[in-house]
Every structure is written in C-alpha cells, then in structure tokens.
Amino acid sequence: MKVSVIGCGYLGAVHASAMADLGHEVVGVDVDQRKIDALSAALPPFFEPGLPEILASASESGKLRFSIDISAVADATVHFIAVGTPQTQGSAAADMTYVEAALDGLLPHLKPGDLVVGKSTVPVGTAQKLADVIEASGTGASLAWNPEFLREGFAVQDTLTPDRLVYGVENDSATEILDEVYADALSKGTPRIVTDFATAELVKVAANAFLATKISFINAMAEISEVVGADVTQLADAIGHDVRIGRKFLNAGIGFGGGCLPKDIRAFAARAEELGRGESVAFLKQVDAINLRRRQRVIDLALNEFGGSVVGKRIAVLGLTFKPASDDVRDSPALDVAVQLHGLGAEVVATDPQGIENARLRHPQLTYVDAASEALTGADLVLLVTEWDEYKNLSAQTTGELVQNRTIIDGRNVLDAGIWRSNDWKYIGLGRP
C-alpha cells in the first residue's frame, strides 16, 4: 500500500520505518528539517533499539523516503497522523494545535477513497471533529482512529508485533484498508478490536491511566512501607503472584515520567471535567500527586543526609532519561530531581548512556560527564535514578573506591541492598528497609 506518516518523532519515525519494513511504500513528513535530513540519510534522529536497522534496510530498498513538503503525501492512500499532543502550557489539557495543523496541511492533497488514520493520543471526541472536517472538505476521504501502544525502548517490536490492534471506524471499507496495512500482524494472530471512534480514543487513555495507576498504587504502598519498615519490593512480589494482579508495572521507585503517562493522565482528567464527569477519574489527580511525591522523597532523603542542606555537596546522578533504552528526557523523574538538587545548591554531576544531549538542551546549568566513573569520583552522595544495566551492575566495591562518601539512594530499587551494605555503603531504597 502507499502510506504517508505525518509527524516523524518517537512514534512516527518508527511507524514509517516499520510500515516500509513490511513492504508498504512509505513517505514520512515532518516540519522539522533536522529530523528530515537525518531520516533521509537513514540516521535515526533519536535513540531507539532496532530502529537503525529497519530504517537503513527500508531506505535502501527504496520503500521509504522522507520530506518536509506535505505535498509528498499526494500519492499515498493511507495517511497516518503521528504528530505530538503535548500538555498545553499552563493547563492540564492536551495541546491539539499540531493535530489540527497536520490535518489542515493534509486536506488539499486528499482524494476520494483516501483514509486518514489518527495515531496520536487525543482527548475523546477529537476523531468525530476531524471526521466532520474531512467530510466538509468534499475530498471524498474518510477517517479512522487507530491508537498506538508502543513503548519506547521496544518501539520496533511493539509496532511489528503489537499486543492488539484497535480500529475506531465508521464503515467496513476503513476496516478493510487497515486490515491490508496490518496484514502481517493479523496473519500472526494479533487480536483486533473494531469499534467506534470514541471507544478507540478512550482505549488508549484508559490503558495509560491504568498503567499509571498501577505504578502509583505500588508507590503509595512504598510510602506506607517507609513508615512501618516494610519492604515494598517483597510486597510487590507477593501480590504479583496473584495472576489477577500480575507483577508487571509494580516496580516502586522514583515514579513514572516520559512523553506519555504524565501528560496523558492529566489530559484525560481535564477532558473528563469538560464532559462533566471529572469525578469519574478524580483519582488520576491522586495518581499524579503520588507520582510527584516520589521525586520529592528522593530530594528529602538527600537533604537529610546532610542535615537539611545540600549546598556544595557533590551529588553523582546516574541516569537522566525517563527509562532505560531511550534518550527521551521528557518529564523525566531523574532529570527533574537532578535539576531540583542543583537549584538547592548541590554540585550535581550527571551521567547517562544516551540522554545527555537532550538533557543538556533543556538544562545546560547541570554538569554532564560521559563516564559513570567520572560522575562517581569524589561524590558525597550517589543517586541511581534510571535503571540502565550498567548502573544496575555497578560493583559496590569499585564504586566505593571512587566516592568520597559511601551513601547511595537507589531510586529504582534495583540494587542488592545486602551486597552494598556489606561493602560499607549506606544503602537507601525507596520503600525498602
């Protein structure tokens, strides 16, 4: 099929490359010349495992090209909208201006039979509005809503072999077109839910709200554990054995961040309020509040170590991205804590295998070093805040030889407390004795 993907960020660049990998003829369009230049040279503009390989092979096969010019979509019959829907400045609601601009740019190039497919995460009710605009344009094109569930760090495999496909459609022909697009995954038995626009839009925000709630639930248990001296990691293991609960997404720590969960739960709550149903998801405000308290907890623990002031203390921050296997620092708990400690007068020395460039763009005031050993040298306190393998596998003994003072706050609860303590470290976990 001839496919266009409008918006080539973390979602769109992977989607475009994966569609081409499956044999479709794809053009990706973005307004960011830097991204288009990189992608056109088959170089991913961000770090995502597996993307370099499929981008290179699809580009070489001639199935994949990129353009800054929206008219490049004219040949395609399926047009995915994958632009950003960030949090609006000064409000909890999603900023829909990029989606609106993408559709405006697309409209003059639509032909009868074309299908516009929404992938961006949007407030429920958006698809109907966009469908009305397309209908009024008289182009003869129509709309489907096909939310995306990929995780950064696993984006390629999640796109090629998704857990499920959700189609929000108004007619069978949209379903047939999407079935053709996703023929490979469907042939492997991927479940497919065909529904209306509103359900498709809600599935996406409900999934992210559930995941965020699960994380904040375990972090709430961590808060209680801290008071009574219980161990939240054992608690998670124990309740996780119940298959109705499950162990996944029960890792207590510094909390969730990224370009999705935080802004999606806020946008969902804001949309529910607009719909007069704010109380139905009022708990999401608690989910958000619990999450943000975990960042404060790490700051408080650091302050406690130095009698209430971190001024002049050298703090090694291991990790800047919101999760490992990504260079994404959007709403990253790790970066947030580093910036706040710097603001409190600490001498923060931060490191990350992939996130330094993005972190430096946003917060040039921090000191960044490439090697963990350099960050650790002379440290008065160590914070492990993103669970990259190389930090999980740090040796307590060799790390101890580098630092000034053997105190570590394990913001992801990934180190073996016993080993660190037996190497003369003061080990502080979150919700662990």
Ligand X SMILES: O=c1ccn([C@@H]2O[C@H](COP(=O)(O)OP(=O)(O)O[C@H]3O[C@H](CO)[C@@H](O)[C@H](O)[C@H]3O)[C@@H](O)[C@H]2O)c(=O)[nH]1
Catalytic residues: 260
257 binds, among ligand X, ligand NAD, none (CB under 5 to 8 A by kind): ligand X
208 binds, among ligand X, ligand NAD, none (CB under 5 to 8 A by kind): ligand X
295 is in an annotated binding site: no
Minimum CB separation from ligand X for residue 420, in Å? 21
Tell the burial category of 245 from Cβ atoms under 10 Å away from its Cβ (0-12, 13-18, 19+). Answer: middle
User: How far is C-alpha 288 from the geometric centre of its chain's CA atoms?
Assistant: 15
Minimum CB separation from ligand NAD for residue 22, in Å? 18
Distance separating alpha carbons of residues 388 and 381, to the nearest angstrom? 19
252 is in an annotated binding site: yes
**Residue placing its CB nearer to ligand NAD in the complex, 85 or 139:** 85
Minimum CB separation from ligand NAD for residue 272, in Å? 17
**Residue placing its CB nearer to ligand NAD in the complex, 104 or 401:** 104
Minimum CB separation from ligand NAD for residue 69, in Å? 10
| 120 binds ligand NAD, rule: CB under 6 A | yes
Task: Please pick, from the candidates 3, 4, 5, 6, the single residue that binds ligand NAD as defined by CB under 6 A.
Answer: 6
**Residue placing its CB nearer to ligand NAD in the complex, 193 or 311:** 193
The pair of three-digit structure tokens given for residue 170, joined into one six-digit string: 């108004």
380 binds, among ligand NAD, ligand X, none (CB under 5 to 8 A by kind): none
249 binds, among ligand NAD, ligand X, none (CB under 5 to 8 A by kind): ligand X
Judged by the rule CB under 6 A, the positions of this chain that interact with ligand X are: 121, 148-152, 208, 211, 215, 249-251, 253, 255-258, 260-261, 264, 322-323
Q: Which helix (H) or strand (E) holds 132?
A: helix 126-137
Angle between the N-to-C axes of helices 261-274 and 197-228, in degrees from 0 to 180, rounded to the nearest 10: 120
| 206 binds ligand NAD, rule: CB under 6 A | no
**Residue placing its CB nearer to ligand NAD in the complex, 32 or 179:** 32
Distance separating alpha carbons of residues 145 and 272, to the nearest angstrom? 20
Distance separating alpha carbons of residues 181 and 426, to the nearest angstrom? 55
- Say how many C-beta atoms besides its own lie within 10 A of residue 232's C-beta: 26
257 is in an annotated binding site: yes
Q: Do the Cβ atoms of 334 and 385 come closer than 8 Å?
A: yes
98 binds, among ligand NAD, ligand X, none (CB under 5 to 8 A by kind): ligand NAD
Q: Which range of residues in 3-11, 276-284, 301-309, 417-425 is near ligand NAD by CB under 6 A?
A: 3-11
Q: How far is CA 268 from CA 197, 273, 282, 285, in A?
A: 16, 9, 10, 10
Q: How far is CA 371 from CA 129, 178, 349, 377, 425, in A?
A: 50, 46, 11, 10, 21
| 413 binds ligand NAD, rule: CB under 6 A | no
Distance separating alpha carbons of residues 254 and 412, to the nearest angstrom? 6
283 binds, among ligand NAD, ligand X, none (CB under 5 to 8 A by kind): none
**Residue placing its CB nearer to ligand NAD in the complex, 11 or 375:** 11
Q: Do the Cβ atoms of 265 and 287 come closer than 8 Å?
A: yes
Show the DSSP H helices in 143-196 as ranges.
155-160, 172-181, 183-187
129 is in an annotated binding site: no
Tell the burial category of 234 from Cβ atoms under 10 Å away from its Cβ (0-12, 13-18, 19+). Answer: exposed
Q: Which residue positions form the known binding site for NAD(+)?
A: 30, 35, 85, 121, 152, 263, 330
Binding site for ligand NAD (CB under 6 A): 6-12, 29-32, 35, 82-85, 98, 101-102, 105, 120-121, 148, 150, 152, 259-260
